[in-house]
């Protein structure tokens, strides 16, 4: 059931910030309506940015992934929590060094920002999504934080959707380090206003002209609410109607999936 029937106001927006996991795809499975949504964005002349809290892949890899799924989207339409994390650390402490638990997306973003890798005495410990999480890496991260390294998470997501179901995400991987050290991580991704300001700046649009589409109440929707951007929750990912009473805020629109955004042909 599409809960929001009148979408004229939404469709009139000049720009769209759109999540990816749980909105466009689950793992390597394209979700219904994703191709129609991208085609509509292009045909209608909308400005758009795919903004993902995942730090695993670079914009180039994300472009290639969508291409494998049948979507043609150029690199300038992607922005990730890895890029936002690198920009934040570079602005806070240029020429700093980091110890990273994460995949190539965050490592390459940090290198490109002039930040060096350091597993002895880094300025920061950075944790993102990874499938190579190990007790050895966890133990080293804890020692480095206790020795004075500042703790950064690429995003606060506890879980993420895949075609096989829910999997642990950055917030869950961060928890053992926070508990063992007593230090609270600073998370860069949604709903941090920093990444939302980056997104609006990249789009070249004002918040009043923009809508954000996502599948999570605790990241996508709260990010839009706090940034005063019109919010759209799609029910193809993490948050479901039964979850809504747990939150003190609501999305402006609730849709079955991304394919409900374009007008019917």
pTM: 0.90
Of 134, 149, 183, the one marking the end of a domain is 183
Task: Looking at the structure, tell me whether residues 178 and 224 fall in a common domain.
Answer: no
Task: Looking at the structure, tell me whether residues 86 and 179 fall in a common domain.
Answer: yes
Residue 199 lies in a domain: no
- Residue 102, domain CATH: 3.40.50.1000
Of 183, 198, 223, the one marking the end of a domain is 183
Whether 107 contacts 130, CB under 8 Å: no
Q: What is the pLDDT of residues 189-226, one digit of tens each?
A: 999 999 999 999 999 999 999 999 999 999 999 999 99
Query: Quick one: DSSP state of residue 21?
Result: B
Residue 15: beta bridge partners?
A: 47, 210
Query: Which three-class secondary structure string do you get for 91-154?
Result: HHCCCCEEEEECCHHHHHHHHHCCCEECCCCCCEEEECCCCCCCHHHHHHHHHHHHCCCEEEEC
Residue 143 lies in a domain: yes
Task: Looking at the structure, tell me whether residues 164 and 213 fall in a common domain.
Answer: no
Structural domain containing residue 155: 82-183
Residue carrying the six token digits 């300001």: 197
For 7, the token pair is 């979408």
Asked if omega into 191 is within 30° of 0 (cis), the reply is yes
Residues labelled as active-site residues: 19, 21
Whether 83 contacts 50, CB under 8 Å: no
Task: Looking at the structure, tell me whether residues 100 and 150 fall in a common domain.
Answer: yes
Q: What is the pLDDT of residues 127-139, one digit of tens each?
A: 999 999 999 999 9
Q: What is the pLDDT of residues 138-183, one digit of tens each?
A: 999 999 999 999 999 999 989 876 667 778 899 999 999 999 999 9
Task: Looking at the structure, tell me whether residues 95 and 128 fall in a common domain.
Answer: yes
Task: Looking at the structure, tell me whether residues 212 and 179 fall in a common domain.
Answer: no
Give the number of domains in the chain. Answer: 2
């Amino acid at each position: 059931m599409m809960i929001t029937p009148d979408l004229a106001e939404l469709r009139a927006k000049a720009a769209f910030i759109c999540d990816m996991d749980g909105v466009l795809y689950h793992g390597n499975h394209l979700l219904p309506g994703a191709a129609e949504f991208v085609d509509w964005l292009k045909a209608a002349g909308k400005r758009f940015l795919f903004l993902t809290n995942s730090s695993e892949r670079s914009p180039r890899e994300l472009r290639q992934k969508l291409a494998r799924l049948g979507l043609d989207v150029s690199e300038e339409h992607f922005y990730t929590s890895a890029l936002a994390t690198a920009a934040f650390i570079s602005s806070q402490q240029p020429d700093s060094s980091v110890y990273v638990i994460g995949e190539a997306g965050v490592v390459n973003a940090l290198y490109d920002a002039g930040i060096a890798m350091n597993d002895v005495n880094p300025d920061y410990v950075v944790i993102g999504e990874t499938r190579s999480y190990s007790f050895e890496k966890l133990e080293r991260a804890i020692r480095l934080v206790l020795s004075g390294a500042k703790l950064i998470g690429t995003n606060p997501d506890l879980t993420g959707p895949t075609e096989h179901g829910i999997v642990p995400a950055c917030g869950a991987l961060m928890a053992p380090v926070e508990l063992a050290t007593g230090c609270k991580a600073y998370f860069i991704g949604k709903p941090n206003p920093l990444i939302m300001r980056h997104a609006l700046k990249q789009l070249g649009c004002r918040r009043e002209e923009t809508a954000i589409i996502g599948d999570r109440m605790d990241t996508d929707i709260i990010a839009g609410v706090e940034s005063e951007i019109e919010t759209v929750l799609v029910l193809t990912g993490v948050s479901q109607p039964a979850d809504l009473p747990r939150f003190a805020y609501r999305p402006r629109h609730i849709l079955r999936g991304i394919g409900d955004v374009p007008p019917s042909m």
